[in-house]
């Protein structure tokens, strides 16, 4: 865990949990994604619950492009299965 993002794994049921601890910069957002992938790889777990309610920043369009074109395909390749993601977000998101 660091000061901006927490990542935990639970075995039963298998789940990687990611929690934003405060609003994230673009660099911290990408680092948090990589932390999630590392934890998921360590446990071969494609099931993620992501709590972004503490993050109030909107992302530049290129971040969403990076997620769809680079990061999520890498997750799929690394885990050998399609990731199953659930999000907790602020109502305005």
Per-residue pLDDT reduced to its tens digit, 68-86: 999 999 999 999 999 999 9
**Pairing mode, strands 47-51 and 15-20:** parallel
Q: Number of structural domains, the chain?
A: 1
Residue 41 lies in a domain: yes
pTM for this predicted structure:
0.92
Question: Quick one: pLDDT band at residue 92, thresholds 50, 70, 90?
Answer: confident
The CA distance from 13 to 65, in Å, is: 31
Domain that holds residue 50: 5-88
In a domain, 66, yes or no: yes
- Helix extents (H) in 1-93: 26-43, 61-66, 72-79
pLDDT in tens, 10-66: 999 999 999 999 999 999 999 999 999 999 999 999 999 999 999 987 888 999 999
């Amino acid at each position: 865990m660091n000061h901006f993002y927490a990542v935990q794994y639970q075995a039963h049921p298998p789940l990687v949990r990611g929690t934003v601890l405060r609003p994230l910069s673009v660099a911290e957002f990408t680092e948090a994604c990589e932390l999630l992938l590392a934890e998921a790889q360590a446990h071969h777990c494609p099931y993620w619950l992501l709590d972004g309610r503490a993050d109030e920043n909107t992302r530049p369009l290129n971040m969403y492009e990076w997620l769809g074109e680079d990061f999520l395909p890498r997750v799929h390749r690394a885990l050998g299965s399609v990731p199953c993601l659930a999000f907790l977000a602020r109502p305005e998101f």
